[in-house]
Structure 1
Amino acid sequence: MSKLSVTANPSEQVADDLTIAPITGWNAQYIDGEWIPAGDRETIAVEEPSSGAEIGRIPVGTADDVDTAYQAAARAQSDWETTTAHERAAVINDAREIIRGWEDELIYLFAAESGSVNAKARSELNSLDAIMEVSEGLASQVSGEYRTSPVENKETQVRQKPVGVVGVITPWNFPFHLSMRVVAPALAAGNAVVLKPDEQTPYLGGHVIARAFEEAGLPAGLLNVVTGDGAQTGDAVVTHETPRMISFTGSSEVGRKVGARAVEQFAYPELELGGNNVHIVTENADLDWAVDSGVFGSFTHQGQICISINRHIVHESVYDEYVERLSDRAAALPIGDPHEPDTVVGPIINEQQRDKIVEFIAQSQERGAVVETGGGHDELFVEPTVLSNVNQEMPVACNEHFGPVAPVIPYETESEALAIANDTRYGLSGSVHSTDLSQAKRIATELETGMVHINDQPVNDDPNTPFGGVGASGLGRYNGEAILDRLTETKWISIQNEPRDYPY
């Protein structure tokens, strides 16, 4: 390829004697409070993206494993539901403190398992800590209220109760946070959980969370972690008759199937799916501000975030300057071994994802896009890439590229910018820059997305603010009271205090 050449020293096997490791070692599942070794089950290698080295293995959970986990969850949940809000919040708080004490080992595991650089790893730890803190408070919000009835002498109560058992399938890009954002509020609300993390990041996405709650004294059966692939283990999690809610974070293509299968079992599907997020830079933008936002929103975690900037839509009057400045900044980003503290851009998660990114860039070049910087790759390291002369029909723009790629599309009028922005089946997040706030708010209102950030970039996730999209970006909302609504059911209880005057 090009000038890029990256050396990443392979990590040793993720040591089974680490504080965060299960007592059995990593090659196990956590079911009904016990670590179950792989035994004669098929296993999957867990590989370090930066070096390709195998750092461990996990079992491929069978349908019987999933059934055992759900049975354990159902048994444990009935007692957990009767505990006080204080008891549930205390367990979450204890797990939170335990995780805080594991920071150094977790930073290492983030780099080894998911290719996360130091800054991203610490950001994910902070977001996880925040979601756990908010979840502690949610425990006391599972309550009820009285309503006025139009029927004379009738007392009406609307009570919340936990849905029961929740099935959770999470991705590899932010495995720790995206698992915990369901596990912690689900437990706070009085539910039990069966969690299947992505097979590429099972330790952060599952094992470490189970270890933390195990040490915190969570009763057996309330959190179960089954590992494996999507075709076998994931399908068993989704199609089981026990869960009343299925939470899935991943691609829109798989999410459509997960949602359909959940509904077949009368389980509510909570889906956070793909995105094709825009960063609109108007003629009134502060370019320093807009470029800073554009760099962070495009290249954080190598662009492997559902809410990353997928398209930069820039007014023609500032287009050339924006492209030049964005390119200069992208070219200066340190790329390399995620274990090194100063690295900003680490590896792509796997070869398939890398090949897709590289192909999108090449196909767009064939159609007239100009690579201003980057465009090359070495092993799983893809250079931060800025492309100019891009239009909406090019592969880097019309697809979710999920890589360190910044296609920049020019526009002339506000209506044209909105037409480009909304020309996608996705509707997750977006951002708009303008010193004219009335203009920014007008554009934000017209963007067909679940979230928009003015004078910022789309990579925002506040633990007490509804998070989710529209269209092919999913169903439902995560965080705070929004996820609590999905994790609980309402029950109407009425009391007729005096005889009613019926018509017959």
Structure 2
Amino acid sequence: MAGAQSDVELFGHVIDGEEITAGDGPGFDSVDPYTGRPWARFPLGSGAEADLAVDAARRAFDSGPWPRMSRSERRAILHRLADLVLENRRDLALADTRDMGKPVSQSLNKDVPRTAENLRFFADHAALTPAELYPSDTGHHAYTRYEPAGVVVAIAPWNFPLMLASWKIAPALAWGNTVVLKPAEDSPASVTILARLALEAGMPPGVLNVVHGYGPDSVGSALTGHARVDRVTFTGESATGTAVARAAATHLTPVSLELGGKGANVVFADADIDQAVEWSARAAFTNAGQVCLAGSRLYVHRSIAEEFTRRLCGAADLLVPGDPKDPATLLGPLSSGEHHRKVSGYLDSVAEWGGTVATGAAGPGLFVRPTVVTGLPKEAPHRNEEVFGPLVTVTPFDTEDEVVAEVNDSPYGLNAMLFTEDLSRAHRVAASLRVGTVWVNCFFVRDLRAPFGGVGRSGLGREGGTYSREFFTEPKAVVVRVGEDPGADGAA
């Protein structure tokens, strides 16, 4: 890591292969949400740094070796980067834990390995995925080439800083693009380490750049509205996604937006209750509920609602808040004081809306204990807005048609879960839900070949497998005359 000053570690922008620390210039601190003390300092970027990073990425794309390497050559470097990620897993995991309070058991055992997996998968996918060949009767040979799109701006969220950044940059890099990555200002450390490791792995300067700063009227808006950028991929809240799309539209820059969610979780009467309780607790309380996919809207068939709620409360009470750097801790603090005030506000208004807190409460410091709320009316904000904390609402239902209509009556459509032992119902309900992903009798199981994204206010576009290829490349049709032309021009 970079040097330390008064026990505060210094990190920099990574632009064109060089790391530029704050020095005596403007900077900002990352505050450990558990201790309440700054642990790292970063340079505060502006439009000037955004220009420098885009210029570096532009040069690296237009005249550098990266887009001109064979896919096998890029694949080897990305696999080397994945190796280095695992070799440096503790530094990477602790960076996310100290930035935003994620339990180190999660960042070390899940997020870092998944980051390496993302790098390996997309490196292999780009090297091994075939393109289309179109048979022709006109004496021509037609096929598709997938050329890299150019300079990609990637904006990563604060809740899974390393893993979700890798989800964006891995396919972009594998297909030959160059990248300017702006991490969330609340959690910028791990991706800076990743950029250092990329250079160590042999990635040429300018291919992966990291710029620190804020969003509106700062680095974020300068990047998303930049004239020399070819793609923008963003994960974050829906309102910010709207601003990103508006900025990119100035130059008709294609965007991929993975935005907010209000995940529904439906438990039918025939569900395996043990399994449903376990998965529902994970879906609601993992990462202190700071997950866009969180199953925060829980619908339980009325015949089992009382028992299910009691058992869910028992599972919630087992999650004891603690130091996120302790490997035994499963529940860390919320990411910041501002976010803690937001989530606590929802807890404070439960009674006002006629609901009951079955278990849970705001705790000491920035902790919020896993909270289960019952009895809220349909119009309560707790049931409709993205709380982004460890709060789940439980609502009983009577019929399949009723609960499907309830789930679909939301501006969000990122994901849903359903628990049932009836195979026909599982397929029928999954087909009826207006969401991007449906998990049946499980949660957060990802196949990296499958499409990922949402509908409505949950996003625009899909990523994963060939869906990422479509976004990060410019498909090109090539038609070659190879024989005698019988006279048809093939025009549509």
TM-score by length of 2: 0.94
Asked if 1:470 is matched to 2:470, the reply is no
Counterpart code for 2:244: V
Q: Which whole-Å deviations, capped at 9, do the CAs of 1:251-304 have from their partners, x for residues lacking one?
A: 011101101221221211010000010110111111111101111111100000
Q: Which moved more, 1:137-146 or 1:116-125?
A: 137-146
Deviation per CA, 1:93-128: give whole Å up to 9, x if none. 111111111122233223211211133212111211
In 1: Cα distance, 2:197 partner to 2:476 partner:
33
| Letter in structure 1 aligned against 2:313 | S
Q: What residue is the counterpart of 1:148 in the other structure?
A: 135
| Alpha carbons 1:334, 1:342 under 8 Å: kept | no
Aligned to 1:114: 100
Do structure 1's residue 338 and structure 2's residue 324 form an aligned pair? Answer: yes
Q: Deviations over 1:291-335 (max 9, x none)?
A: 011111111000000001111101110000011110111112121
Aligned to 2:125: 138
Cα deviation for residue 346 of structure 1 reads 0.5
Give the match's secondary structure for 2:10: coil
Question: Counterpart of 1:36 in structure 2: which amino acid?
Answer: I
Determine the structure 1 residue equivalent to 2:32: 48
Q: Hey, what's the Cα distance between the residues in 1 that align with 2:305 and 2:51? A: 56
Measure, in 2, the Cα distance between the counterparts of 1:453 and 1:56.
Answer: 38
1:356-398, Cα deviation, whole Å (9 max, x unpaired): 2111122232111111111232221001111111232112111
1:124 aligns with 2:111: yes
Q: Report SS of the residue matched to 1:45.
A: strand
Distance, in Å, in 2 between the alignment partners of 1:228 and 1:319 is 46
1:44 shift after superposition: 1.3
Give, in whole Å, the separation in 1 of the partners of 2:488 and 2:439: 55
Q: Give me the whole-angstrom Cα distance separating, in 1, the residues matched to 2:188 and 2:308.
A: 40
Match of 1:6 in 2: none
Equivalent of residue 166 in structure 1, options 128, 145, 152? 152
Counterpart CA distance in 1 for 2:11 and 2:273 is: 50
Structure 2 CA distance for aligned equivalents of residues 378 and 222 of structure 1? 44
What's 1:415 paired with?
A: 401
What is residue 53 of structure 2 aligned with on the other side?
A: 69
| Correspondence for 1:186 | 172
CA RMSD of aligned residues (A): 1.9
* Count of matched residue pairs: 482
Residue deviations 1:194-243 (CA, integer Å, cap 9, x gap): 00000111111x20110110110111110111100112010011011112
* Larger deviation, residues 350-359 vs 220-229: 350-359
2:211 pairs with 1:226 = yes
Is the 2:158–2:186 contact (alpha carbons within 8 Å) kept by the matching residues of 1? yes
Deviation at 1:25? 6.1
Distance change in 2, residues 1:336/1:305 (3 Å): same
Check conservation: 1:76, 1:221, Cα contact below 8 A.
Answer: yes
Q: Which residue of the other structure, out of 275, 285, 290, is the alignment partner of 2:261?
A: 275
User: Secondary structure of 2:395's match?
Assistant: strand
Per-residue deviation, 1:138 = 2.3
Q: Percent identical across equivalent pairs?
A: 34
- Alignment equivalent of 1:390, drawn from 347, 358, 376: 376
Report the Cα offset of residue 464 of structure 1: 2.7
What does the per-residue CA deviation read over 1:430-459, in whole Å, with 9 as the maximum and x for residues that have no partner?
1000111211221111111000011113x3
2:232 is equivalent to residue 216 of structure 1: no
User: Counterpart of 1:230 in 2: which secondary structure?
Assistant: coil
Residue identity in the other structure for 2:182: K
Q: Which amino acid aligns with 1:228?
A: G
Does the aligned pair in 2 maintain the 1:364–1:395 contact within 8 Å?
no
- For the 8 Å contact 1:138–1:189, the answer to whether it is kept is no
> Which range moves more in the overlay, 488-497 or 366-375?
488-497
Question: Aligned equivalents of 2:111 and 2:85: distance in 1?
Answer: 12
Q: Hey, what does 2:21 align to over in structure 1?
A: 37
In the alignment, residue 229 of structure 1 is paired with which amino acid? Y
Secondary structure of 2:266's aligned partner: strand
Structure 2: how far apart are the matches of 1:123 and 1:315? 32
Q: Which residue in 2 is equivalent to 1:5?
A: none
Q: CA deviation at 1:502?
A: 7.9
Task: Determine the C-alpha separation between the residues in 2 that align with 1:488 and 1:259.
Answer: 19
Q: Write the distance in 1 (CA, Å) between the matches of 2:426 and 2:193.
A: 42
Unaligned runs of 5+ in 2: none
Asked whether 1:89 is paired with 2:75, we answer yes
Match for 1:252: what amino acid?
Answer: S
SS in 2 for 1:452: strand
Contact 1:26–1:207 (CA under 8 A) maintained in structure 2: no
Asked whether the 8 Å contact 2:291–2:388 carries over to 1, the reply is yes
Aligned counterparts of 1:158 and 1:145: Cα–Cα separation in 2: 5
Distance 1:473 1:236 in 2: 24
Q: Could you tell me which of 283, 290, 293 is aligned with 1:297?
A: 283
Asked if structure 2 preserves the Cα contact closer than 8 Å seen for 1:95 and 1:212, the reply is: yes
Question: Residue type matched to 2:96 in 1?
Answer: F
Question: Letter of the aligned partner of 1:62 in structure 2?
Answer: S
CA distance in 2 between counterparts of 1:376 and 1:69 reads 42
Q: Which runs of 5+ in 1 are unaligned?
A: 1-14
**Preserved contact between residue 244 and residue 266 of structure 1 (Cα < 8 Å):** no
SS of residue matched to 1:323: helix
Determine the C-alpha separation between the residues in 1 that align with 2:112 and 2:94. 12
Change (3 A) 1:67 1:147: same
**Distance (whole Å) between structure 2 residues aligned to residue 499 and residue 144 of structure 1:** 25
- Is contact 2:152–2:180 with CA below 8 Å preserved after alignment? yes
**Matched letter for residue 128 of structure 1:** T
| Partner deviation per Cα, 1:118-159 (whole Å, 9 max, x = no partner) | 332121112112111102202314764431346x22332321
Q: Secondary structure at the match of 2:296?
A: strand
Corresponding residue for residue 9 of structure 1: none
